[in-house]
Amino acid sequence: PSPLGGERAVSVSAGSTHSLALTTDASVWSWGFGDGGRLGHGDEQRQLLPKKIESLAGKRVVAVSAGEHHNLALTAGGAVWSWGGGRNGQ
């Protein structure tokens, strides 16, 4: 079984200790260390396997980028969403 809910990845991005995947259905998945909320699941838990970021469901994400402690998602409508560490204004 696919660790991405049966969907294929169309884009991936790696931060220093976490990763993101964007799937064909515009869902965003994350895994790795969750410190500072960088995985986007509302906690700081470590995820060994990809987990869907439910707060982005229905947003039609078209691109993702993982930073060292934060992430960005771009939607089809041009909105930018960010999550994770923001100590330096990310």
* 18-69 per-position pLDDT tens digit: 999 999 999 999 999 999 999 999 999 999 999 999 999 999 999 999 999 9
How high is the pLDDT of residue 86? 67
pLDDT tens for each residue of 69-84: 999 999 999 999 999 9
What DSSP line would sit under 30-73, residue for residue? EEE--GGGTTSSSS---EEEEEE-GGGTTS-EEEEEE-SSEEEE
- Beta-carbon count within 10 A of 33 CB: 16
Q: Do the Cβ atoms of 37 and 78 come closer than 8 Å?
A: no
pTM for this entry: 0.93
Residues facing 80 on adjacent strands: 74
